[in-house]
């Protein structure tokens, strides 16, 4: 049994990037390929921010940061991260999150 004391903070998520609430009840679960993200760029404070543009990696079906210069599928915008999500700090290669999709 782990009785280690842990501190966890909570903050209001900034979803000002949303134009309206339309479609927010349709967010779906996806899995991020965290190896595609850079800590200082995509999650400098330890969290993937809500509104982060995502693209689907064709070969794996996982999601990475949208990049219009990529040639692995991420050059097509697939959706946006719906809520801020803590980035894994244990070397986890994939991470399940909620995404507001731009296409089916």
The string of pLDDT tens digits covering residues 5-56 is 876 665 667 888 888 888 778 888 888 888 899 888 998 888 888 899 999 9
Rg (CA), the chain: 15
- In sequence order, what are the residues at sequence separation of 6 or more whose Cβ sits closer than 8 angstroms to the Cβ of residue 69? 75
- In sequence order, what are the residues at sequence separation of 6 or more whose Cβ sits closer than 8 angstroms to the Cβ of residue 80? 17, 50, 51, 52, 53, 54, 99, 100, 102
Alpha-helical runs (H) found in 2-100: 39-42
Distance between CA atoms of residues 29 and 64, nearest Å: 14
Pairwise pLDDT comparison (16 vs 91), residue with the higher score: 16
């Amino acid at each position: 049994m782990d009785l280690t004391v842990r501190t966890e903070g909570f903050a209001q998520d900034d979803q000002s990037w949303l134009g309206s609430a339309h479609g927010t009840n349709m967010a779906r679960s996806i899995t991020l390929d965290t190896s595609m993200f850079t800590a200082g760029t995509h999650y400098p404070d330890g969290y993937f921010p809500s509104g982060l543009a995502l693209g689907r990696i064709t070969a794996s079906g996982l999601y990475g940061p949208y990049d219009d210069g990529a040639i692995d599928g991420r050059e097509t915008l697939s959706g946006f991260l719906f809520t801020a999500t803590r980035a894994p700090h244990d070397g986890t290669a994939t991470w399940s999150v909620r995404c507001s999709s731009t296409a089916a």
